[in-house]
Structure 1
Amino acid sequence: MAPARTESDLSFLLDRTSHVLRTRMAAALAEIGLTARMHCVLVHALEQERTQVQLAELGDMDKTTMVVTVDALEQAGLAERRPSSADRRARVIVVTEKGAEVAKRSQRIVDGVHREALGALPDDEREVLLRALNRLVTGHLSIPVAAPPTARRARERAK
């Protein structure tokens, strides 16, 4: 017999809503040829001069994912890698004029997806949810703890 649950399954609730929100965001941004990561890089690079490393941290991306994302932005003519004005060894991502226009469009899309999700709640519940989530993100759940790596099985090679 499975043990009785004594608390709401917060992990499931947050994971499920996050997963569905990400799929809706991906579908909406795909309509203008962007991924959520591309949107994230464009918007944060427009805020101020940032290196690839800084943008990767903001977007919670590993180094390889960041390189692939910036490569795609460069191929689309939306951003360029340039030497940093503060540290010539570092590379910053500079958004092109075309990229700035796309970032405006993508931000409207992102805001719309968020508005639609939150619009499913009555006003008073929406405010409570946002306040509670912000409290968790800035308080108790603000810093991840070290977790053991998950075991991955080796892929079998085709014969």
Structure 2
Amino acid sequence: MAAAHPIDRLGFLLSFRGELAGTRIRAALAVAGLHPRNAMTLVRLAPGATSQRELAAAMEVDPSQLVAVLNELESAGLCERRRDPADRRRHIVEITPAGRQVLERIDQEVNTAERELFGDLSAEEQAQLRDLLDRVLVDPATHECSE
């Protein structure tokens, strides 16, 4: 039996298109000088202050990795950490006004990138693609998708 052409393999096609989409989104984020993990951290902080531990859990990252990201964001003036007055062992993290401005810029750039990436799809097709991708198993051991 002849090997299938890579484009005929759904996994290859998804991987290839994912790399292209990832490159385009990283370029959109770079306009604001951010890496994807930094941008996602700001997005997670947008709704309001949260504990550093809760943020790490929501982002599914090791707390030590989050500390490095928060150090970068804090150095850039995009977020701030402070001790929780009710529990001095706990850190509260909050986005700054400068961080909100960067998020607005990121949002504009990502909107442009998504129009370029998905412009040939109707709103209904985009919703269908989102639904299908939500069903793709990322961790076969748990049969769950991770964010």
Shorter-normalised TM-score: what interval?
A: 0.7 to 0.9
Aligned residue for 1:89, secondary structure, equals: strand
Task: State how 1:1-150 maps to structure 2 within 5 Å.
Answer: 2=2, 8-84=8-84, 88-119=88-119, 121-123=120-122, 127-137=124-134, 140-141=135-136, 144-146=139-141
Structure-1 separation of matches of 2:45 and 2:36? 14
Structure-2 separation of matches of 1:66 and 1:20? 26
Cα drift, residue 57 of structure 1: 4.3
Cα drift, residue 2 of structure 1: 5.0
Q: Which has the higher strand share?
A: 2
Structure-2 separation of matches of 1:34 and 1:84? 27
Aligned residue for 1:47, secondary structure, equals: coil
Structure-2 separation of matches of 1:20 and 1:4? 22
Alpha-carbon deviations, 1:75-97, whole Å to 9, x = none?
Answer: 11111122347765332321111
Aligned residue for 1:16, secondary structure, equals: helix
2:145 is matched with which residue? none
Aligned residue for 2:50, secondary structure, equals: coil
Structure-1 separation of matches of 2:121 and 2:69? 37
State the superposition RMSD in angstroms: 2.8
Structure-2 change in CA distance of 1:3 and 1:17 (3 Å): closer
User: Structure 1 vs Structure 2: percent identity of aligned residues?
Assistant: 33
Q: Which moved more, 1:106-115 or 1:48-57?
A: 48-57
Alpha-carbon deviations, 1:63-114, whole Å to 9, x = none?
Answer: 3432221111011111112234776533232111111111111111112211
Structure 1 residue runs of 5 or longer lacking an equivalent are 148-159
Structure-1 separation of matches of 2:38 and 2:116? 22
Which structure has the greater CA radius of gyration? 1
Structure 2 residue runs of 5 or longer lacking an equivalent are 143-147
Structure-2 separation of matches of 1:87 and 1:112? 43
Q: Is the 8 A contact 2:48 2:94 kept in 1?
A: no
Cα drift, residue 40 of structure 1: 1.1
Q: TM-score, normalised by structure 2?
A: 0.75
Q: TM-score, normalised by structure 1?
A: 0.70
